[in-house]
A = this chain, B = another copy of it.
Amino acid sequence: METILNPEKSQWDLLCKRPVLEKDNLDLVVKEILERVKNEQDKALEYYSQKFDSCPSGNLKVPAEEIERSVELVPQDLKNALETAKKNIETFHAAQLKGVEKIETAEGVRCWSKNVAIEKVGLYIPGGSAPLFSTLLMLGIPAKLAGCKRIIVCTPPGQNGEISPVILYTARLTGISEIYRVGGAQAIAAMAYGTETIPAVYKIFGPGNQYVTKAKELVQLEGVAIDMPAGPSEVLVIADDSAAPEFVAADLLSQAEHGPDSQVVLLSNSNSLIQKVRNEIAEQLAVLPRKDIVSGALENSKSILLPSLDECISFSNCYAPEHLIINTENSNALSEKVINAGSVFLGAYSCESAGDYASGTNHTLPTNGYARMYSGLSTGSFMKRITFQEITRKGMAELGPVIEKMAESESLIGHRNAVSVRLKTLKND
């Protein structure tokens, strides 16, 4: 972890840059997978499952009995934890459902908008070293609250061809029963194009490795929506002398364990705090099981001393972190100045893990500087907003001439005429 003392503002842009991953070959590999799934459908999925996941071929769709069996296989204390997390996530995401408010923009002109669920959505849950059931909570709960009619899950099986019981249990808990044993770019292709077994969906959600991310990017060009562009996970911590160095160190390390390409940044107005955190990191790192991954991530990471906490916030807005922890005395006041961030954690006890699992906010957030223009996932991400308008005879009588004038000035005489034929009938009123 490099320490940088009071960098010039002209250096900030460079300090905010994320490492760029090599992409050229990726593009070709993923295009080939997409093409093959489009043409050969289920057969291609079987082929890639055996090639990449080295799992036995078998039924793509997880049978209901297998999902039910998970109830016995998941330990009770984890079930209880999942229940609590679900309740909190549900509470926060249910509050995002909006009622319809009709607005009279002018006399006789009523306009409103209504959020309507996207009918078919696909959730991708990565496999890898551990089953990421928390991601299924974060995608499944808002999809259900939104009212999506068909929600499918794709997730890669383990070497034995089985999907972790915790994933199956979490799906069951959120009310999802359509689960397919397929991962990687081929799973994204299946959800985009449809196969004999897997239905095509309108929007695809969920994180994944470079192949999955590239596949989502490519199918988006073919008319499927995706949740957001993705990059490696990241945290930026702003801390002052009031912060406990062991809390700050633990927060930085928790992010670093995601992968060697994770980004971890510490900003402070106190060099002494930075030094104490570095010492704590060394100590805590020694006992972490994922030491190699964490050390890799720390190599890309930076501690930066800045003249004031206000400058720390300015730097953070320039960086636009996925997760921002403000562990300072006046964290609430400082947070008012946040412009670019995915999710913000305030005060000593709001660690990022809380948002990752159970506080209620969503953990699917914009990385790689995308927080400048993208939002994290919400219930609204599973819906689209339709506008409505209803104009009375009186409304048309008032507004009609305005529309006629504007349409005519844009040389759209057909548009003007749609009003004129109506105004003509109103003359008899």
Residues of A within 8 A of B (CB): 77-78, 80-82, 84-85, 87-89, 91-92, 95-96, 101, 103, 105-106, 109, 111, 113, 116, 118-119, 129-134, 166, 202-203, 217, 221, 223-225, 229, 244, 246-247, 250-251, 253-257, 284, 288-290, 294, 331-332, 335, 338-362, 366, 368-376, 378, 384-393, 395-396, 399, 401-403, 405-407, 409-422, 425
Instruction: Say which residue of B356, B417, B419 sits within 8 Å of A253 (CB atoms).
Output: B417
In the complex with contacts A253-B414, A358-B402, A417-B254, A376-B371 CB distance below 8 A: no
- CA–CA, A393 to B349, complex, Å? 6
A399 shortest CB reach to chain B, Å? 6
Which B residues are in CB contact (< 8 Å) with A223?
Answer: 229, 368-370
Q: Which of B129, B395, B405 contacts A411 (CB 8 A)?
A: B129
Tell whether, in the assembled complex, residue B413 and residue A288 are in contact, meaning their CB atoms are under 8 Å apart: yes
The number of times this chain is found in the oligomer is 2
Contact of A130 among B221, B410, B416 (CB under 8 A): B410
Distance in angstroms from A256 CB to nearest chain B CB is 7
B-chain residues with CB within 8 Å of residue A288 when the two chains form the complex: 413-414, 417
Closest partner residue, chain B, to A82 (CB atom):
B406
**Do B166 and A354 touch across chains, with their CB atoms under 8 A apart?**
no
In the complex, besides A257-B412, A357-B402, 10 extra interface pairs with C-beta distance below 8 angstroms are A78-B405, A78-B406, A84-B402, A87-B105, A111-B361, A116-B338, A130-B409, A130-B412, A338-B386, A346-B390
Q: Which residues on B sit within 8 Å (CB–CB) of A410?
A: 130-134
Residues of B within 8 Å of A411, CB to CB, are 129-130, 289
